[in-house]
Structure 1
Amino acid sequence: MTRQTIGTTTKRARAGLNNQRLVLIGLFAEAHARGVDVVLPDLVNINAADTKSSAFIDFGRVFDLGIVREFLNTHGIDIAEGAGAEQVEWIELFNRGAKAYANPALAGFVDAALAALRPPAPIIAQAEAILAHLGGEVHAVQLRVERDWQIHCDRLMAERPGWDCVRTPEGIFDRIAATPFYGGVRRFLIFCDEAALVAPPERIAADIRASHGFDLTFKSMLPRGTATAELSVEQASIDFEVGLHAKSYVGLSQSTFSNLLCATKAAKGTDTLDHFTYHVAAPVLFRRCDRGRPGWR
């Protein structure tokens, strides 16, 4: 008897790589709960400038199909091929994944899913090239200061009088400089959307060097060919892989990238999880103790 299968069609809206990870977690959790198999969806290579032109690409270009299949088989789920699957709405699976991610009772299943969503060999090779170029211990910072975040912060501060939003490089590195963990650290790798910054990376790097003595490395400053990928979704996967291997990471808990990076590193069984958030009402960073799930302790 043929088992029932479920699948989905990824939507171009809200289709950054880490939102797509949550959709996949939702798909896997739904299949596990119902005892059915899955058809893996194509992924979206998002074009931030024109989402309508965003292209669909093969699942195996971003995730290692063999590792994902092994995880699913371990939980009694097979990967089906072709049409005929029950189509579950993308947003429904996104919400299902977000709820599963936040549910302590499903932590074991979700952690295993996160650990299984590994990139294929070409992406790992690119990440290794970046790490080799940087050498030594890598300390990474998510510099969430792009134009869209500035607009978001303006809206939140208008809705919540007295609420503060850390949204400048200076504000972020003030907290880093005041945190004892970073007392001897001078160099940071920066994760951000460089095209959407309010100032050029070179100017930000020069300002922070002058004010704090830190050396910032943006991806555009890496040697040509070291940090390039044909597709934006592949570049996002490279960033994620580099972040997993960083000695420490500073981000914010409102970021899906930061949260899933922390959760995936914890799921891999890392002994020391040196992840911090800067979006706190304090002059120093806050060490994460929530395994990437805001509200967990």
Structure 2
Amino acid sequence: MQANPKHRPGVERARSPGNPPEHPDSAAPGPDRTLSGVVVEGRAESLLGIADSAGEGQVGAAELRRRPLLRPGEVLETVPGLIATQHSGAGKANQFFLRGFNLDHGTDLRTTVAGVPQNLPSHGHGQGYTDLGFLIPELIDRVSFRKGPYAARDGDFSAAGAVDIDYVRELDRGIARITAGSYDFGRALVADSVTALGGTLLFGAELQNNDGRWQVPEAFHKHNGVLRFSRGDERDGFDVTAMGYRADWTATDQVPARAVAAGTLHRFGSLDPTS
């Protein structure tokens, strides 16, 4: 008797979708399936003759609205390759990373909001310190970015790149929002725009509180406001913007890993509750 090499006990030959089954009669056809439609939406702007590099672009308000944000500074994470981290509490400026480089708190990333430079030339945490805690994401119109040191117009603090954040001139409808969560988190936002003096007056006010997961409550309290008057359009017009921001909190500083591993300090504990 000659064994069939195609069929060995305990061995099943793999079959690709293109090969018919060896026993066609045993393969019953499956039911027809109709897949639901998929709608793909996108935003495009012609940058021909405007952008000097593929590292330059814009992010619009529609995309920002679809992105969950843990803190205002994460708006900059819409820039491809840019990471915004946080330490020592919500009231401290983010620490930025771009293309693998540590930019500290903004030393090499020039940032403007509504045309106003945000990098502080001198600060205890380093030159170029950029605190974006006052941003109200719901009012952002677009984020423009340029990665790399090629744009001479950006000047100081732009060795790694630059980001320009602009607010809207008017809202389609007013905003009244209250958010509550764990650990005494709360946020209230009111914003709207009205016609005044032949132009548009935009206003927004924000209050926020958060204790965090820490054994010593962070007790973060933020008061934030913006007022913007604009007339005309971007090509033939002007705008005047005023902002006010205050934040108070108990810093959630670093803790030694060896103390946490030894069990003498809780992971969410503090070495100095008065920090």
Higher fraction of helix: 1
User: Which TM-score tier does this pair reach, normalised by the shorter chain?
Assistant: under 0.3
TM-score (structure 2 length as normaliser): 0.23
Higher fraction of strand: 2
TM-score (structure 1 length as normaliser): 0.22
Q: Which has the higher contact order (CA 8 A, sep 6+)?
A: 1
